[in-house]
Chain A
Amino acid sequence: MPKRKDINRILLIGSGPIIIGQACEFDYSGSQACKALREEGYKVILINSNPATIMTDPEMADITYIEPLIPEVVAGIIKKEKPDALLPTMGGQTALNLTVKLSQMGVLTKYKVHLIGANINAIKKAEDRQLFKSAMIDIGLNVPKSGVAYTLEESLKISSEIGFPIILRPSFTLGGTGGAIVYNIDELKESISKAFDLSLNHEILLEQSVIGWKEFELEVMRDKKDNVVIICSIENFDPMGIHTGDSITVAPAQTLTDKEYQNMRDAAIKIIREVGVETGGSNIQFAINPQNGEMVVIEMNPRVSRSSALASKATGFPIAKIAAKLAIGYTLDEIPNDITKKTPACFEPTIDYCVVKIPKFNFEKFPKSKPCLNTSMKSVGEIMSIGRTFKEALQKGIRSLESGYCGLEEKKLNMELESGLKNPIPERLFYIREAFKKGYSINKIYQITFIDPWFLYNLKEIFDTEIEIQKYKNSEIPMELFKKAKEYGFSDKHIAKILGQKEENIYNLRKKYNIKVEYKMVDTCAGEFEAQTPYYYSTYEQNSIIEETK
């Protein structure tokens, strides 16, 4: 299908200042969208109030406004610039909320601005809890038991129907602001007024708690011919109860059976169709009961999101760029994949490595705040690391954080071991390591944390390797063990610390043993096609294929 010729000028709304829950991932998506649209000959009018972005560079868009992202100002720009279309899905929740406001004000109708990428109905269906829930029930999917309340009385009534614990989620907020878990009526009463305040439409959802369930996300894209592809599956290391932005996440999903994964895929495809995101990407979150495999749908973002930025980087598939091309009428089979140049965008990416994302926190800047994680996002940044195995990626990830750790190493604990395990805190990984040291079994740790035993087993393997290395404090660590440690993601510095040596010595030993790091490609296709613009990650496993393409 050719691109749309009835539109020429496209307004793109950015996400404004960096705040917790909405960071520079939207600079990445907005910049990609600008490039993709201009490549096709459209004129791009951009508004964003954040000067520290690449997208507001004067050469990125045809016309750039650094003005406040408030409805009156955007309406003024529409009046002045007369765009034919508005692409609202690249600027996070800010852009979606503004678009809904502009539509309510009648500005879009008055100036005949088409919404592309997502229409108002799809946005509302995905964002309005009640509409979303009934849509899910219509297509035979389960959602946590819930009810919408506008008053305290209504919330009390609903709580008696659902039973505690209950999650409170205000509608139309950022990154789960004001979300809370309450365990009794008093706590409910305490939290509810704040939740009402934070919701743009004074509405909150009371939801059956699925705390402790496994959490997954799928990144899905659809075109106007109704083709749907799954770009990436993401599994949360931390179970339900922690905002996904604050969770350690892993791609692809590691602990699903094929049957469970296929069910989730089928559900995701049904959901994007039912909600009616005609062109573009969505992020859909699921929870699975570890006891019986029961699956429930948690939520959907009908736009480019933090997770889709991660999925893009994890797979090499440029979700924002493709979403922009779909919005102007192309179909997935017509858009070439930039990395291979040969395959079209309807080829689902294949991953032959493991990706780990770890959030970065800044609690020390706010001395009176408790470093405890819940459904309201607190992290200020994140890192992504890639390895051949979860172990390698995780340890690379830990040292990427620049939080003073060079791997899953010994740490002075600030609280009791059990409470560090029980309460989701940023440094829980190190409490798990300590639990191994104290002789806790994987099952016992699982009973406290609800972190899937597969992940715990991998952490245990890292810990066991540390213990093995320790034996060589007074002699040279043998080559086989050294190799294994590097494959498990141990840094030279970490090994040096365990042995009480200098990092330099370990580096020299690595050279002596001729243990070489190798670079592998992120190419969307696991080496099936030749990659034109791949990027690389290091590993200590197998042979390198970078030489051929360099």
Chain B
Amino acid sequence: MAKKSVVILGGGPNRIGQGIEFDYCCVHASMALKEEDYESIMVNCNPETVSTDYDTSTRLYFEPLTIEDVFNIIEYENPLGIIVQFGGQTPLNLAIPLQNRGVKILGTSPDAIDIAEDRERFRVLINKLNIKQSPSGTAISLEQAVTIAQRIGYPVLVRPSYVLGGRAMEIVYDDSGLKEFMEKAIEISEEKPILIDKFLEDAIEIDVDAVCDGKTCIIGGLMEHIEEAGIHSGDSAMVLPAYSLASNIIKEIKEITRKISLTLEVKGLINIQFAVKNKDIYIIEVNPRASRTIPFISKSIGVPLAKLATKIMIGKTLKDLHFTREIIPKYFCVKESVFPFNRFPGVDVILGPEMKSTGEVMGIDTSFEMAYAKSQLAAGQNLPFSGKIFISVKDKDKPVIYSIASQFQKIGFEILTSSGTGQFLKKKGMDVVIIPKIYEGRPNIVDYIKNNEISLIINTPSGKKPRKDIVSIRTIAVERGISLVTTIPGAKATLLAIKKLKEEKVKIKSLQQYYKI
């Protein structure tokens, strides 16, 4: 008798937001199926991947990921079911139409996925579980939008409802910003309203990935973002385990994760994003599928989560798989993102709710500072030991920048500033040199950059529309390969990393050795 077979739908072409991480998960699904003596049937059309290698699966179909092409294969192969959780959004979009044609979706039900993706159904769920969500509303006209925004209070996060992956998402700070957004947004209708959420300023963002067999849920990893909430989770640096959160907050976040997973009867992987502000925990979104961070966590804890999830989908329990306790590493793992700005000259390099990174690196070490330093070096960011730092931050960041700037000064850096930041720091008693911005005289900051006199730039955007001259400072810095930090938490971490690198040498250790710690 022929072996039982399972079809895995791959992620299609790489793009920003859907890349190698999903190929990694699909390859693991195939390995897991083979280990359990199933035939694995891969469908994908991306030639760059391991999933389309000839020996990864029992059978490979080099085909487009459309309903027609996939359904033809299913009619031909007649598999036990299909796996849609691993290839990112591509296979998820096919799940419901394929199910409507009678195809069995393995793992978490498409209905549970729909609950997570449908705003109304999701609201009902979290209300039932008594979880906080930042206030929100939907609008189909500017008047409605303004009313909602004024009710929940600026700043607000706005986005069209029909796009995924943070496309066209923006944070707006006032009525005029909102008006501008609404004018730009095309295709607003009853079916496709604009979504408006209260933006939680300066909140800490957290990503949790867990694996669940429908009855038991084990946390794979809890990652604390370095950058504040509002920056796409695919673009933030993250650290595992969390480095600054209070233990009761961590405990509660994990508890909420378990509650949601079990309520949705997740069979496989789930990713939940949280924001913590003033000790309150808010839920941002729930994705009952493999997330971008699965490979990173799997490498951090030494457990192949995607494999476990696959085996759950074909009937195993976490107990069968001997994964019954969360693993919290005794070392720090930092994930940092890598951006393609050097390919798009003139484009502002500020991070926001729309994802822009193409890839990621990982830094591992026994101290957070060194792990972060390694992640920066791996991402191609130079960490200078001395020289001149140019600092220009928005008003709100000025009090915090004082301590960062004075510590940089203490370890031997010279501080150059814009006039606003400089006056503030001078008042505080710091000795800084104020230099002109582009239209303020010469030699200005650009001259300094071009003469290779600047070794690091700390520049936080003002939130509202950035001034053209400030954008060009940032773009020139990127073109010249000068380290640029655009967030306060990023500046703090950079300071810690540089201090650490000045104190001790980079030590290397293999993954296999780390797992023995």
Contacts and interface: CB of A to CB of B under 8 A. Distances in A.
Contact of A402 (B13, B53, B363): B13
A314 interface: yes
Contact of B76 (A313, A376, A400, A519): A519
A368 B299 CA distance: 37
B244 to A, nearest CB: 22
A285 interface: no
A536 B59 CA distance: 8
Interface in A368-414: 368-369, 376-378, 380-386, 396-397, 399-402, 406
B362 A66 contact: yes
Contact of A51 (B50, B335, B358): B335
Contacts of A536: 59-62
B512 A63 contact: yes
A352 to B, nearest CB: 15
B477 interface: no
B359 A66 contact: no
A16 B27 contact: no
A535 B46 CA distance: 14
A129 to B, nearest CB: 21
Interface in B336-372: 338, 340, 342-348, 354-356, 358-364
B343 A177 contact: yes
Residues of A in contact with B, size category? 35 or more
Given A19-B359, A177-B343, A384 B379 contact: no
A49 B13 contact: no
Nearest to A399: B64
B361 to A, nearest CB: 4
A16 B61 CA distance: 28
A400 B20 contact: no
Given A49-B362, A386-B62, A56 B356 contact: no
Contacts of A70: 377-378
Nearest to A313: B47
B66 A360 contact: no
Given A24-B50, A381-B48, A16 B361 contact: yes
Contacts of B354: 365
A54 B50 CA distance: 8
A275 interface: no
Given A51-B295, A56-B299, A369-B347, A309 B48 contact: yes
A442 to B, nearest CB: 27
B340 A310 contact: no
A467 interface: no
Interface centre among B65, B67, B378, B480 (most CB of A within 10 A): B378
Nearest to A30: B50
B62 A28 contact: no
A367 B169 CA distance: 13
B20 A65 contact: no
A364 interface: yes
B348 A23 contact: no
Q: Most A CB atoms within 10 A — which of B62, B65, B76, B509?
A: B62
A17 B359 CA distance: 5
B21 A396 contact: no
A19 B295 CA distance: 18
B55 interface: yes
B20 A23 contact: yes
Contact of A400 (B14, B45, B335, B355): B45
Contact of B358 (A18, A32, A197, A364): A18
Interface string B63-100: 11111110011001000000000000010000000000
Contacts of B346: 368-369
Given A50-B360, A380-B340, A17 B45 contact: no
A491 interface: yes
B296 interface: yes
B304 to A, nearest CB: 7
Interface residues of B, number: 76
A492 B68 contact: yes
B253 to A, nearest CB: 23
A53 B510 CA distance: 16
Contacts of B76: 517, 519
A365 B50 contact: no
B439 interface: no
Contact of B63 (A73, A360, A406, A537): A537
A42 to B, nearest CB: 17
A99 B142 CA distance: 58
Interface string A510-534: 0000000101001000000000011
Contact of A491 (B12, B27, B66, B360): B66
Contacts of A49: 361-363, 378
Nearest to B23: A24
A376 B347 CA distance: 16
A339 interface: yes
Interface string A36-50: 000000000000011
A27 B20 contact: yes
Quick one: which of A16, A314, A380 has the most chain B CB within 10 A?
Answer: A380
Given A51-B335, A194-B479, A197-B480, A18 B20 contact: yes
A385 B45 CA distance: 7
A68 B13 contact: no
Contacts of A58: 299, 302, 511-512, 515
Interface string B7-20: 00000111110011
Interface string A312-331: 01101010000000000000
B374 interface: yes
A379 to B, nearest CB: 9
Contact of B45 (A18, A25, A383, A534): A383
B26 to A, nearest CB: 10
Given A16-B361, A400-B64, A535-B59, A384 B20 contact: no
A20 B19 CA distance: 12
A77 interface: yes
A52 interface: yes
A103 interface: no
A365 to B, nearest CB: 5
Given A362-B15, A364-B167, A25 B48 contact: yes
Interface string B237-274: 00000000000000000000000000000000000000
Q: Most chain-B CB neighbours within 10 Å: which of A339, A365, A536?
A: A365
A535 B41 CA distance: 10
A169 interface: no
Given A380-B14, A535-B62, A18 B343 contact: no
Contacts of A380: 14-16, 340, 358
A222 interface: no
Contact of A535 (B60, B69, B302, B379): B60
B13 A401 contact: yes
A313 B343 contact: no
For the complex of A and B, list the 5 residue pairs with the smallest distance between their C-beta atoms, beginning with the closest. Answer: A18-B359, A381-B14, A17-B359, A68-B378, A535-B60
25 contacts: A18-B20, A49-B378, A51-B299, A52-B359, A57-B299, A66-B299, A68-B378, A69-B378, A338-B55, A362-B15, A365-B16, A365-B354, A368-B344, A369-B347, A381-B14, A382-B47, A382-B48, A384-B62, A401-B13, A493-B67, A535-B52, A535-B61, A537-B62, A538-B61, A538-B63
Given A53-B24, A67-B378, A491-B68, 13 more contacts: A17-B378, A19-B338, A52-B19, A67-B508, A68-B374, A316-B54, A318-B53, A383-B46, A396-B69, A493-B67, A519-B76, A533-B54, A535-B61
